[in-house]
Structures are given as structure tokens and as C-alpha cells.
Amino acid sequence: MTSVAGPEEDGDRRNVSDAAGVVILGACATWSLITAGAHGGRPEGVLLAVLAVAAGYAAGRICGALLPVATACAGALAGLGMTLAMPRLAPGPEIVAPLGHAGATAALLTLSAGAACCAAWCAEAPALRLALRALAAGIAVTAAALGSVGGFVTCGVVLLCSLAAGRVRHRGPGLAGLAVATALVTALTWAVAGNAVPDGLAVSLEGRLTQHRVELWHDALHMAHREAVLGVGPGRFGEHSTTAAQTLVSDGKPHSALLQQAAEQGVVGVALLAAAFGWVLYALWRTRRPTPVALTAGVALTALAAIACVGNALSFTTVSVGAGLLAGLATAHPLAEEPARHETDVRPRGDRLSP
């Protein structure tokens, strides 16, 4: 049996979620400083990523409370515009594809499609909803035009899942499914790095991932085994990787957020990375926004997690800000109550205690 949650209970939920986020992000920053102090690493990249996520999340919460539709639409257009105007997204050496900036491009377009779909669910006018979903479809087409097959697939998945989310009454099972999907991608990545997959599958995956990337993963896993607790220090993968040292032009990264955390910050770093993703899913579960908005953002952020498992997307500040912004938009509480008919798209009015 369910009961209606009052304003005080909703406020308690948001306070718990926000406090958890502060603790987890603070722990990520603190642990990077500890590991850097132990091995002389460079924590600036991790600190910048944490700051970018926190800033994006705060901006999303504030702007999402004031203008949820306009802010989400502006975020989608900004991500699309940045991808078209700056295909490489950041200065630095151009790495041979697919190890270069393709992952960041796919990630940014995926977040943009997610923002457009969230804006569509927040919009009241049917014509505006249709236009925003057309924008999401256009972002997927743009990904294909730019040669980002992964971006096209993930944008398409976000759009289709967003449409299907309108028929979902309870968000809990959906978010749990996203957590399981992320765990499976994580396990597969770790298995490939440890040569623990069948030969036929290994050959197929290596053909798509490239042998160079897989060799970087091998180096990262070897470092994680050698320095299981503290890792080799943030920003020091390139110094310890034989594969990176033998590469003519290298960015000094293993092109996997999971394995980079394991190699540079040990098992604690991996646990903190998982905790950060778990916190986002928890915040989406607790948010008072309609279930389609929460699930759409969850799908987009899960797609980002999958891209980050096999690439260096999280090394780009624009992607980190975009992820925080989308999470903030999906968990913001608009100052003006949303129409009651949106709530009927989400769940029965009596089912407000269990999101």
C-alpha cells in the first residue's frame, strides 16, 4: 500500500541525495590527492573533472527549477553546436581513430539527445514535444554524418527508450536495469583486459576496439594488480605503460575510465567511480520529476558510462559538465508545479512514496 508523500518528506529525500553527492564527490577529490601524494601523481585532471560535474549539476538544478524546458533545449543545442564547431572538443595531439576524440563526440551527442528528450517530456504543447523529439532524431543523424557509429547507436537508443518510458509507471525496475547493464559492460571491459573472454569473442572485440587499445588495457590491469590499493598515481599511466611509451603520438591514457581509475587510483578509485554513478541513479530514483524524465536521463547517462568504459570521454571537461548538467536537470524541482496530466503519464497519484 502506498501513501502520498508530503513536502517535508520530499525535502528530506532531496537532502539525503544531495548530501550523498557532496560526500562522494568530495571523497573522489580527496582520494586523488592522497594517491598523488603517495606516488607523486598529478591530480589536477581528476579535480577538474569533479569540479566540472559539480558545476554542471548545480547549474542544472538551478536552471531546471526556473526554466526546465528552455534549459534542457539550450543544453541540447549547445552540445550539438560544440560538436559541430569543435569536432576535436579539446586541444592536443590528434590520435589516430578510433582512439582519438570519437568517444567524446559520441558522448556529447548522446547527452545532447538525452537533454532534448527530457525537454520534450517537460513541454506541455504537443507540437513543441514533437519538435524536441525531432531535434533528438536530428542529433542522431548528425552523429551518423560525422562518422560516429557509436554516437548514432546511443542517440537512437536514448530516443527509443525515452518514447517507451512514457508507458512506465514505476521507475525503480528501469533504473535497476540500467545499473545491471552498466555492470555487464564493466565486467566485459575488465574481462577483455584480463584475456578472460573466449577466443572467438576476443578476436571480434579486438577488431572493433583495435589491438592498440586492448594492449593499453592490459597495461592498466597489470598496474592495478601491482598497486592494488593506491594505484600508480593520477596522471601517471603514460609513464608506466609500455604500449603508450612505444606509441608515436600518445595521450598517456588507457582509453577506459574504469581501467584508468584502477591503474592510477587502485580499487578505492574504482569503488568511488561506481559510487558516483550509483548516486546519480539514486538521485534519479528519488527525484519528483516525472518518471519519463528520470528514465530518459538515466538511459543517456548509462550510455555515457558505457562509452567511458571503452574510451576516454570523461577526460574532456565538456563531457563532464554535460553529464552533471543533465543529471541536475533531471533531479531539479521546478518552482511551478508540473501539470497533473504529466503525473498520469508517470504513475498513479497515490504512488508518490515509491518512485
8 vs 300: which has the higher pLDDT? 300
User: What long-range pairs does 222-227 form, CB within 8 A, spacing at least 24?
Assistant: 223/262, 223/263, 223/264, 224/259, 224/262, 224/263, 224/266, 224/267, 227/39, 227/263, 227/266
42/57 Cα distance (integer angstroms):
25
Assigned domain for 1 exists: no
Residue range of the domain that includes 80 = 7-87+96-346
73, amino acid identity: C
Indicate the number of domains in the chain.
1
Instruction: Give the least confident one: 132-136, 149-153, 249-253, 254-258.
Output: 249-253
Please state, for a pLDDT cut of 90, what percent of the chain lies above it. 63
- Please list the alpha-helical segments (H only) found in the chain: 7-39, 44-66, 68-85, 102-122, 126-145, 149-165, 171-193, 199-209, 211-226, 237-240, 242-245, 257-286, 291-309, 317-331, 340-346
Give the pTM.
Answer: 0.88
Q: Which residues, 6+ apart, have CB-to-CB distance to 114 below 8 Å?
A: 158, 162, 296, 297, 299, 300, 301, 303, 326
- Asked if residue 207 is part of any domain, the answer here is yes
User: Does residue 351 fall inside a structural domain?
Assistant: no
Instruction: Give domain status of residue 2, yes or no.
Output: no
279 assigned to some structural domain: yes
Rounded Cα gap, residues 129 and 248, in angstroms: 49
pLDDT tens column, 61-119: 999 999 999 999 999 999 999 988 875 554 444 444 434 467 889 999 999 999 999 99
Tell me the pLDDT tens digit for each residue of 4-53.
Answer: 445 555 556 667 888 999 999 999 999 999 999 988 888 999 999 999 99
Taking a C-beta distance cutoff of 8 angstroms, is the pair 300, 71 a contact? no
Least confident of 160-174, 235-249, 271-285: 235-249
**Is residue 355, in this structure, part of any structural domain at all?**
no
Cα-Cα-Cα-Cα dihedral sign, residues 118, 121, 125, 128: positive
> First-to-last CA distance in the chain?
13
Does residue 317 fall inside a structural domain? yes
Whether the per-residue pLDDT at 1 is higher than 60: the answer is no
Task: Provide the pLDDT confidence category of residue 344 given band limits of 50, 70 and 90.
Answer: very low
Least confident of 86-100, 152-166, 332-346: 86-100
pLDDT at 85: 82
Q: 204 falls in which pLDDT band (50, 70, 90)? A: confident
137-155 confidence digits (pLDDT tens): 999 999 999 888 899 999 9
Count the residues in the chain.
355
